[in-house]
Amino acid sequence: MLIFRWKMKNIRNFCIVAHIDHGKSTLADRILELTGVIHTANNEQVLDSMDLERERGITIKAKAVRIPYKARNGEDYILNLIDTPGHVDFNYEVSRSLKACEGAVLLVDATQGVEAQTIANAYLAVDAGLEIIPVINKIDLPNAMIEETRKQIEDMLGLPGEDVLLVSGKTGAGVPELLEAIVSRIPAPKGDSSAPLSCLIFDSYYDSYRGVIPHIRIFSGTLNRGDKIQIKSTGKIFEVNEIGFFTPDLMPGEKLSAGEVGYISAVIRDVGDIHVGDTIISPEHPETPAIPGFRKAKPMVFCGIYPISTNDYPKLTAALEKFQLNDSSIVFEKETSAALGHGYRLGFLGMLHMDITLERLRREYGQELIATMPSVVYKVVTHQGEELMIDNPSKFPEPQYIDHIEEPIIQARIIVPNEHIGAVMELSKSTRGTLVAMEHPDPRRALLTYEFPLAEIITGYYDKLKSVSRGYASMDYEFIGYKPGNLVKVDILVKENQVDALSYISDRESAVSKARVLIHKLRKLIPRQLFTIPLQASINGKIVAREDIAPLRKDVLAKCYGGDITRKRKLLEKQKEGKKRMKMVGTVEVPQEAFLLLLKMEE
């Protein structure tokens, strides 16, 4: 096929990065339309093909596409575009995409200006050594602040204002100039097609007919259909039976050379044989080094997931293994709960990531799941000086063995309009935030730098931030370390039996009030039985909250029509004895809604 005979100087690998909702996917659509890859604009958000992406209006998965482009200098080019997510929880997708590129288009909304995730993505691109093309999008809107946004790019990102391009992803204005800038400013990939094979797996997914399909960027060498390949980390050898690129659908071809982006199929059935971030080499040159600089994801939020039916546990195992191929930022390990049986402990990058993952497991893999309360990893230091990293409250040692507990701390950058500064500072104070710095990058907005316990952020801080700022505030955060905190473990007892899946760690000051709220809500959720069910919350063995679920009562006197009072008393005494026996042997089933309560618990 002719399209594979490209000189490396005519290849450009780039991605589009921006804050959420700044128009990345719309701009990608216009680029595809202008270059003839798609022929109609009716199918909006071509690269956002997942149902969840369309429903929520966000990009969840990075998508690659190969674009043929004839430049104004008369030369033909191949542009490999990767569209990336904008939300902080999918930051790992962005870092993977950057590793496969030489340049990045940094998009800024003309009506919003530079926001928190814009800064974070710019830093990621600079750290990866990429050529950055700053672009102001949505210039067609009547409230566009073009010159103000250009100044923000200069002041906050340190990029020259004269390099900024003006485009509209909706109308297509300025997109031809952007394509010319990509060709002229972004360097061609480096590498030797005749050198030993070395390529990076930057994404993958599982096909039920063909096995694992890795998405690759070739840094050196050439890969042909029928070649043998070796996975560097596992040493496993496979034969390539299909090779190709993205148009954005999979398009088979004959070979891929250094500098190109594409996919391979090699009948890799075992999902454990291959990992995102791994290096593919030739078995003839096993000494070829792994490609460096590919960072591993650091899970920030953990929760337990359990199948509703215990018979579905093997299906959940298979689903998680396949899902991890498509989203390598999740980690999981086996876990057993006395209340819920066998399940898995999953690690996520944030609450939205957790929400999306659970929804995808339900939709794409048909899993019916119960999810426990999200938690973070605490560092528990014992009196012997031993440090334990614990992501599950049920694994905490007894209080008498604990010297102190340290909690993960994040540094958050919050950009907020001046009129909402007071509300944001009030919210941050209520969630144990510490103000580190306050700057005014422009006359209308403030950049607040806060340190927060991560546990406070995962319980809905982002949603509350959007609420108090009427949607104008933006936030980005990064993990900075552990600090000692005044923390306690709260146990929930149902009929004097501890339900480990409902245990949680809390700041001592708010622990009792949170426990009372939870117990009160549980009382409404757990079905009544023929006996009294006591609900209790305990801290270090001391009961701090209690409510009882009143028993159902059968009317045993209904059949008595008058007669001696002793007959009625005898029936009531008999009922009382039966209730006592039932209370001793009766069991209480906690409905799955109860485990979701902790996600939505408000003071």
DSSP per-residue letters across 145-198: -HHHHHHHHHHHH---GGG-EE--TTT-TTHHHHHHHHHHHSPPPP--TTSPPE
Q: 209: part of which helix (H) or strand (E)?
A: none
**Residue 328: predicted pLDDT:** 66
At CA 529, angle to CA 525 and CA 531, rounded to 5?
Answer: 125
Tell me the pLDDT band of 466, cut-offs 50, 70 and 90. confident
CB 256 within 8 A of CB 218: yes
CB 186 within 8 A of CB 133: yes
> What DSSP character marks residue 75?
-
**Contacts by residues 314-318 (CB-CB < 8 Å, ≥ 24 positions apart):** 315/366, 315/367, 316/343, 316/344, 316/367, 316/369, 317/344
**Bond preceding residue 134 cis, omega within 30 of 0:** no
pLDDT at 387 over 80: yes
Distance in angstroms (rounded) separating the CA atoms of residues 113 and 116: 10
pLDDT at 397 over 70: yes
Q: Which bin fits 495, alpha (ψ -120 to 50), beta or left (φ > 0)?
A: left
The residue among 358, 363, 336 whose CA lies nearest residue 348 is 358
**Residue 1: predicted pLDDT:** 34
Tell me the pLDDT band of 592, cut-offs 50, 70 and 90. low
pLDDT by residue (tens digit) across 289-323? 887 765 566 677 777 888 877 778 888 888 888 77
Tell me the pLDDT band of 502, cut-offs 50, 70 and 90. confident
CB 318 within 8 A of CB 307: no
Q: Which two tokens stand for residue 11?
A: 């290849």
**Residue 62: predicted pLDDT:** 55
**Residue 211: predicted pLDDT:** 79
For the chain, counts of helices (H) and of strands (E): 14, 31
Of residues 232 and 58, more confidently modeled: 232
Q: Which two tokens stand for residue 235?
A: 């040493």
* Chain centroid offset of residue 47 CA: 19
**Residue 512: predicted pLDDT:** 84
CA dihedral 68, 74, 75, 78 (to 10 degrees): -20
**Residue 485: predicted pLDDT:** 79
Tell me the pLDDT band of 40, cut-offs 50, 70 and 90. low
Tell me the pLDDT band of 586, cut-offs 50, 70 and 90. very low
pLDDT by residue (tens digit) across 328-342? 677 777 877 666 778
CA distances from 34 to 68, 70, 476 (A): 11, 11, 33
Tell me the pLDDT band of 49, cut-offs 50, 70 and 90. very low
Tell me the pLDDT band of 43, cut-offs 50, 70 and 90. very low
> What DSSP character marks residue 590?
P
Calculate mean pLDDT across residues 551-556: 69
CA distances from 214 to 14, 96, 245, 310, 325 (A): 19, 13, 11, 32, 9
Residue at 128: amino acid letter: A
pLDDT at 196 over 80: yes
Chain mean pLDDT for the chain:
77
- Pairing verdict, β 261-265 and 103-109: unpaired
pLDDT by residue (tens digit) across 90-107? 556 566 677 778 888 888
The residue among 350, 210, 194, 223 whose CA lies nearest residue 282 is 223
3-state secondary structure of 374: coil
**Residue 35: predicted pLDDT:** 78
- What is the b/e burial string over 251-260, where b = at least 16 CB atoms within 10 angstroms of the residue's CB? eebebbbbbb
pLDDT by residue (tens digit) across 446-462? 888 888 888 887 766 77
DSSP per-residue letters across 375-439: B--EEEEETT--EEEESSGGGPPPGGGEEEEEEEEEEEEEEEEGGGHHHHHHHHHHTT-EEEEEE
Q: Which two tokens stand for residue 369?
A: 């799941």
pLDDT at 4 over 80: no
Calculate mean pLDDT across residues 543-554: 78
Tell me the pLDDT band of 496, cut-offs 50, 70 and 90. confident
pLDDT at 599 over 50: no
Tell me the pLDDT band of 580, cut-offs 50, 70 and 90. low
pLDDT at 48 over 70: no
* Chain centroid offset of residue 267 CA: 29
DSSP lists the bridge partners of residue 357 as none
Of residues 49 and 587, more confidently modeled: 587
**Residue 297: predicted pLDDT:** 64
**Residue 91: predicted pLDDT:** 58
Calculate mean pLDDT across residues 385-395: 78
Backbone φ and ψ for 478, nearest 5 degrees, come out as: -145, 150
